[in-house]
């Protein structure tokens, strides 16, 4: 926005136009097909883009009809073929004749529940199915629409007050009880204008990420060591929080990141807090080393389906094929982390995804592989002590946070403790 030299009002409009269009892309394509009597692939790509941007302005933004159509036509004149200009004008005028709910009813008529939800909320069908299964595993399958809708609502910005360096009271944010993290607040405006954020003593961070990190530190350990490991530390958000917490507990912390550019981000994140060891190696190699750790955070690479509200493009980039390689990598990292865990130590397995293949299925795999030495701690009980207002089901030992329930990304957490030899 700065490079485009936009003021704050224009920047906000542009961001909503871009992100809102991406969030609703599938629905808008179906509406364009219905309004034009053409398949979307039969429309030239440049005209497609002009049309979806125009449809978003007409159906989801407070843009006057004449302005939305005129600007779209002008854009078509600049970016699309001459023959498409009249087509864009005609289609958008037809779209403007109905409101969004009427169009949704029209384009989802006669479809199955999953197919209709896929179009209405613009999520690929496989993601709708995965979310439904994940919700069902928690006994809340009837909340599928609330979850999908929450992914299409831009989240407010949350900031974490790094313990020992800042406090919630200093951040002047929204300190209402809805904040799930005791060290997090929602803020309005640009967080870069907050002095503590500029100093690196507070950071923009989803409160779900804060909670899973706090839970690891609160979990009881009987390990002889007092050293911690963040195995996949990039880009550095949880690493910075772990670093601050390690200083308060006189623990040593090793931060590892396999990708050099992400390791640089980790270095920048923790530099305002002090000096910490940063390694640049494949996390799967830790298990081959003799060093053992008392607490390990494995924030495993995943599909990122838990953060679709802040990264809406991910829903269109990810496919079921991605799961094959990711599940394999997650298990390899889990095995390495377990081998690196000292007796009595605690491993936090974390993903920003509710997909069962990346969450409870991986925990079940670990329990089967390490059944004689793995104790699954009750993460929900630990988090309820951190914030009783979370009201997590303590009948389940793993934690699944939800944007529509907790106001966080859909973070998953399992806490595994290694028995004492």
In the predicted model, what is the mean pLDDT of residues 243-267?
97
pLDDT over 70 for what percent of the chain?
Answer: 97
Contacts of 158 (CB under 8 A, 6+ apart): 179, 181, 184, 185, 186, 187, 204, 205, 206, 207, 210
* Tens-digit pLDDT profile for residues 313-325: 999 999 999 999 9
292 and 189 share one domain: no
How many whole angstroms separate alpha carbon 395 and alpha carbon 64? 52
166 and 47 share one domain: no
Region of 385 please: left (phi>0), alpha (psi -120 to 50) or beta: alpha
The DSSP symbol for 395 reads T
Average pLDDT score, the chain: 95
Region of 407 please: left (phi>0), alpha (psi -120 to 50) or beta: left
Domain of residue 42: give its range. Answer: 1-109
217 and 185 share one domain: no
166 and 213 share one domain: no
In a domain, 115, yes or no: no
In a domain, 142, yes or no: no
In a domain, 24, yes or no: yes
In the predicted model, what is the mean pLDDT of residues 370-380?
97
Last residue of a domain, one of 146, 171, 200: 200
In a domain, 90, yes or no: yes
In a domain, 114, yes or no: no
Asked whether the beta carbons of 367 and 376 are under 8 A apart, the reply is yes
Which residues sit opposite 254 in a β-bridge? 229, 277
In the predicted model, what is the mean pLDDT of residues 72-93?
96
Q: What is the CATH number of the domain that holds 57?
A: 1.10.940.10
236 — phi, psi (to 5°)? 125, 0
In a domain, 275, yes or no: yes
164 and 239 share one domain: no
173 and 216 share one domain: no
250 and 312 share one domain: yes
Region of 259 please: left (phi>0), alpha (psi -120 to 50) or beta: beta
Asked whether the beta carbons of 207 and 158 are under 8 A apart, the reply is yes
In a domain, 151, yes or no: no
Cβ burial of 148 (10 Å; 0-12, 13-18, 19+) is buried
Confidence at residue 1, expressed as pLDDT on a 0 to 100 scale: 46
Residue 4: CB atoms within 10 Å = 8
Q: Which residues are catalytic?
A: 352
Q: 177: pLDDT confidence band, cut at 50, 70 and 90?
A: low
Asked whether the beta carbons of 254 and 225 are under 8 A apart, the reply is no
Last residue of a domain, one of 143, 175, 200: 200
293 and 264 share one domain: yes
405 and 297 share one domain: yes
Give me the number of domains the chain comprises: 3
How many whole angstroms separate alpha carbon 269 and alpha carbon 240? 6
187 and 267 share one domain: no
* Tens-digit pLDDT profile for residues 278-287: 999 999 999 9
245 and 183 share one domain: no
Contacts of 291 (CB under 8 A, 6+ apart): 340
Question: Does the structure show a pLDDT above 70 at 369?
Answer: yes
Which residues sit opposite 341 in a β-bridge? 293
* Tens-digit pLDDT profile for residues 27-75: 999 999 999 999 999 999 999 999 999 999 999 998 999 999 999 999 9
Q: What is the CATH number of the domain that holds 233?
A: 3.40.50.150
289 and 399 share one domain: yes
Cβ burial of 187 (10 Å; 0-12, 13-18, 19+) is buried
* Tens-digit pLDDT profile for residues 208-251: 999 999 999 999 999 988 999 999 999 999 999 999 999 999 99
In a domain, 133, yes or no: no
């Amino acid at each position: 926005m700065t490079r485009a030299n936009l003021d704050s009002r224009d920047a906000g409009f542009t961001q909503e136009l871009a992100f809102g269009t991406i969030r609703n892309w599938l629905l808008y394509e179906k509406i364009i097909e219905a309004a034009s009597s053409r398949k979307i692939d039969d429309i030239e790509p440049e005209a497609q883009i002009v049309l979806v941007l125009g449809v978003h302005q007409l159906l989801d933004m407070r843009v006057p009809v004449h302005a939305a159509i005129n600007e779209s036509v002008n854009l078509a004149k600049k970016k699309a073929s001459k023959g498409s200009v009249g087509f864009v004008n005609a289609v958008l005028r037809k779209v403007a004749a109905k409101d969004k709910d009427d169009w949704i009813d029209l384009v989802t008529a006669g479809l199955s529940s999953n197919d209709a939800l896929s179009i209405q909320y613009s999520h690929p069908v496989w993601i709708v199915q995965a979310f439904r299964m994940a919700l069902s595993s928690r006994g809340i399958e009837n909340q599928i629409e609330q979850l999908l809708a929450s992914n299409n609502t831009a989240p407010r910005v949350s900031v974490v007050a790094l313990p020992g360096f800042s406090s919630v009271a200093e951040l002047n944010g929204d300190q209402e009880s809805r904040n799930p993290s005791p060290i997090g607040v929602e803020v309005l405006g640009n967080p870069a204008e907050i002095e503590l954020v500029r100093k690196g003593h507070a950071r923009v961070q989803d409160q779900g990420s804060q909670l899973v990190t706090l839970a690891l530190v609160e979990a009881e350990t009987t390990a002889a060591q007092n050293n911690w490991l963040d195995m996949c530390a990039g880009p550095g958000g949880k690493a910075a929080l772990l670093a601050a917490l390690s200083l308060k507990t006189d623990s040593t912390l090793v931060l590892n990141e396999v990708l050099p550019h992400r390791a640089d981000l980790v270095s920048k994140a923790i530099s305002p807090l002090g000096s910490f060891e940063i390694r640049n190696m494949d996390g799967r190699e830790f298990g081959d080393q003799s060093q053992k750790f008392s607490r390990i955070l494995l924030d495993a690479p995943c599909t990122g389906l838990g953060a679709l509200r802040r990264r809406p493009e991910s829903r269109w980039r990810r496919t079921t094929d991605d799961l094959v390689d990711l599940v394999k990598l997650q298990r390899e990292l889990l095995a390495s982390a377990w081998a690196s865990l000292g007796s009595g130590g605690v491993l936090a397995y974390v993903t920003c995804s509710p997909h069962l293949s990346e969450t409870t299925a991986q925990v079940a795999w670990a329990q089967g592989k390490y059944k004689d030495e793995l104790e699954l701690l009750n993460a929900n009980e630990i988090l309820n002590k951190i914030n009783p207002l979370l009201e997590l089901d303590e009948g389940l030992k793993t934690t699944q946070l939800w944007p529509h329930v907790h106001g966080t990304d859909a973070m998953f957490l399992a806490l595994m403790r290694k028995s004492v030899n």
